[in-house]
Amino acid sequence: STSSSPLFSLSSLPLFPTHAKRQEEAMDGLRVGDWVIGDELGSGGCGSVFKAVNANTSQECAAKIIDIGQLAVKEMMRPKQIRNRIEREINILRSLDHPHIVKLYESVEKNEKYYIFMELVTNGELLDYIDEDGLSEATQKKYFRQIISAVAYCHNQEPQVIHRDLKLENLLVDKDFNIKITDFGFSNFQEGDTLKTMCGTPEYAPPEVFLGRQYMGPPFDMWSTGVILYAMATGYFPFRTASSGNIMHKEGFDIPDECPVGCGKLIKRLLEQEPKLRPTAEEVLLDPWLVDGGQTKKAKTKKSGEGSSSSSSKKSGEGSSKKSEDGEKKKKKEGEENGEKKERRKKKKKDGEEDGEKKKKKKK
């Protein structure tokens, strides 16, 4: 038996807030083409994301800004290699059109920086909504279906698009509480049978990536979705972060008793050590647990011909009205529950930051 890892730790806090503040001030009000850069929304390994507004149409968007020189130094790569990688990300985003993938509006290269203007998704990351109890089963199914449908779409492209960095932080939640996959910085077109670049986030990357050999793209993404589903169901990662060996070899994980049986079975299929034995995204969409959907069973209806047409017509009208009402109530309730979870997680993060500051002061 192995212990699982929490989804948040002090090690994930920003190390250089002063530098980040200076960068934010430098970008505020900057105009790039028709876009005016505003407040910083967040930052990642490849760059920072700012809110931007189109000066002509007032359309809002998320602007990902990548400094070529800085990233080249950080990644120990030549600027030309960084350019090629960014251009590939842009080309991939331009080729995709799916309701659960962020849309690309425009990209601009200016003053040794790339500005990638994308759809603005306003309700934060999926990570913000997961507490120590995970998500409700119905919400797990809803979100996981959306994630898998987008992954299946990518894998069905010609050539296949492999994301290679699917994780909770790269799954955004929109205003209607639907998922949008973002950050295709590590993605690639798979034109042959295998890929070879070691990339991704250790907690989400499959064991074969750490072996230094070529690997198949789709099973890489499917493993990552297994880690995501485990986190949604339990509130934890399946593998210990304390042991680098365990992180790389991904050996031994427990399915908690409170995890629904069907969900646990699907997780085991996705976290299969042998890449060829993992299900495809199309196969996962047909998984019994996911197909069941967590929806309320439909009431039994009378056989054809039973009952009068007038009464059935009346009931039909009442039913559709009630269905609409119930849908609105469900959406409102889901929004409230998700909002509460997000607030609890924000508080935890704030408490963690405060604890970190206290530790720093004590050391001084």
Residues marked as catalytic: 165
CA distance linking residue 60 with residue 37, whole number of Å: 10
Of 74, 72, 116, which Cα lies nearest the Cα of 91? Answer: 116
Q: Is 32 helix (H, G, I), strand (E, B) or coil?
A: strand
Strand 188-190 and strand 5-6: the pairing is: unpaired
Backbone angles phi and psi of 92, in degrees to 5: -65, -50
Instruction: Decide: 32 and 25 in contact? Cβ < 8 Å.
Output: no
Give the distance, in angstroms, between the CA of residue 109 and the centroid of all CA atoms in the same chain: 26
User: Nearest Cα to 221, choosing from 232, 207, 206, 211?
Assistant: 206
**Cα–Cα distance for residue pair 288/294, rounded to 1 Å:** 11
Three-state SS for 247-299 is: HHHCCCCCCCCCCCHHHHHHHHHHCCCCHHHCCCHHHHHCCHHHHHCCCCCCC
Task: Tell me the angle at which helices 217-234 and 137-155 cross, rounded to the nearest 10 degrees.
Answer: 170
